[in-house]
Structure formats: structure tokens, C-alpha cells
Amino acid sequence: MNLETVKYEKKGAVALITFNRPEVRNAFNAKMTEDILEALLAAKNDVSVRAIVLTGEGLSFSAGADLSARDSKWVDTEAALIEGYLPSLKEIMEMPKPVISAVNGAAAGIGSAYAMACDLTIMSEEAYILQAFSNIGLIPDGGANWFLTNTVGYKLAYQIAIEGERIEAERCLDLGLINKVVSSDILLDEALLWADKLSLRSSQSLKLTKQIMRKALDSSYEDIYGLEAKTQNTLTGSEDNIEGITAFMEKRQPNFK
């Protein structure tokens, strides 16, 4: 991989992907949209990787788009959002492996979209989410309107978007935007430990639960019920299913492939 703005490391069965432009608080330029996509595809295609952690180098997760960047290759903002950011955001959301965002500081603008796109989020006590678009006459993007509305409901999502105030870590936890808050000195260790524990679970269970729950956001109860029934039928008697039941009967931890 020819990565300039993102770091990719293997930690056992976990891929650690780090936004790496700390001098601009990991703000996105065009190269970073390419690098994050390449890193995510590498993690997806590596069969030895079973979970992913996404974080930022230095003081921030990502400050959003780099408004001072001069490497843009898109004709306008719509093209940048559709051609630049969307492919990697979709990779996170459609990734067959769990993705944990370890938010170590500011997750602002499009940076917040990457944090919220992940399946699970752990934040440091000093971290926060920020939608400051209304301060400059714009709207939240990167799917932030969808993430916020589906998580906290319309009224609160609208308030967060238009008031442009920091949503501190503990408040994010209360609102269900994240899963855990820890001190900054143990954030990455806790995220990697969490990912490592998930890597030991049934990959087919994690993958298909993610797919169905993502689909549940815009489907009816009966549609999801039917999908659950069909999926459960295909999994019953599978290697993982048999191993899980055997391990339960033998009072040991399962060894999923």
C-alpha cells in the first residue's frame, strides 16, 4: 500500500487504521479519502483480520475537511462528497467485520461522520462530536443527518445540527451516539482489547447481525423478521453453530474459524 496520510497496522487479528495528518488535526484532503479507502479494502480482503479499529493520530480524531487543501480533484462539493468520501464511508458500513471508532479528540464535520459510521464507538473523556456547519451557512454532510436522526431522533438531531455546539463524550454516551467513555491514556488499548475480544466470536454471526441491523433502519418489522428466519435457517447446522453448541456442552470457550 502507498499510504501517505493514513497508517495501517496489524495487531494480531485486528487491523488498526489511523488518520495521520496530526499537523492539521487529521483534516481530510483528497489523498486522505483515497488512503482511507485503500486501508479499509486491505482490511476487508485480509482473511486474517477479524475486526478493525479506526482512530486519529495526535490530538484529534478528525477535524473534518481541510479547507486549506489545494489537492482537490473534484469539480464541486457534491462531487467531493459522492466520489471522495462516500466510497470509504460505505465500506465501513458494509464491512463484513466489526469496525470500532476510537475517538481521541475532536470528531468534527466529515470526521464525525466517519466516527458515527462505525459499528461501535469508544471515546476519550476529552473527545467530542461537533457539527459546526451552520456557523458557515452549510448543512451537516457525510450522512451525519441520517446518523444523528436515526440515533437520537429528529428534534434532538436538528438541535445538534443547527446550534453547532460540542457534544462532549459523556453526553454522547447518554444519547446513545457512542458505547464507552475512557480516559485518554487507555483509549487505544481499550479499543484494541475490545476488537480482539470480538475477533474471537463467530465471524458469520457478527457479519450477518450487522447486515440485518443496518437494513432494519429502513425496513418493516415483518421484513426483518422474515430475513432473520431465512438467515437463521442457513446458519443452523453450520460449522460455527456446531462448534458453539459443542463448546457450551463441554463448558469451554468456542474456537470459531
Structure confidence by residue, pLDDT tens digits, 84-133:
999 999 999 999 999 999 999 999 999 999 999 999 999 999 999 999 99
Residue type, 221: Y
Mean pLDDT value across residues 56-74: 88
Interatomic CA distance for residues 8 and 35, integer angstroms: 10
Which whole-number Å values give the CA distances from 244 to 51, 237, 254, in the listed order? 20, 10, 5
Q: Using N-to-C axis directions, what is the helix angle for 110-117 and 86-94, rounded to 10°?
A: 20
Tell me the three state secondary structure of residue 93: helix
pLDDT at 161: 96
Please, where in the chain does CATH 3.90.226.10 lie? 6-199
Interatomic CA distance for residues 129 and 108, integer angstroms: 6
Q: Using N-to-C axis directions, what is the helix angle for 154-163 and 144-152, rounded to 10°?
A: 130
pLDDT at 200: 96
Is the pLDDT at 75 greater than 80? The verdict is no
pTM: 0.96
Interatomic CA distance for residues 41 and 79, integer angstroms: 21
Strand order in the sheet with 120-124: 6-11, 14-19, 51-56, 99-103, 120-124, 180-182
List CB contacts of 225: < 8 A, sequence separation 6 or more: none
CATH 3.30.160.60 matches 6-199: no
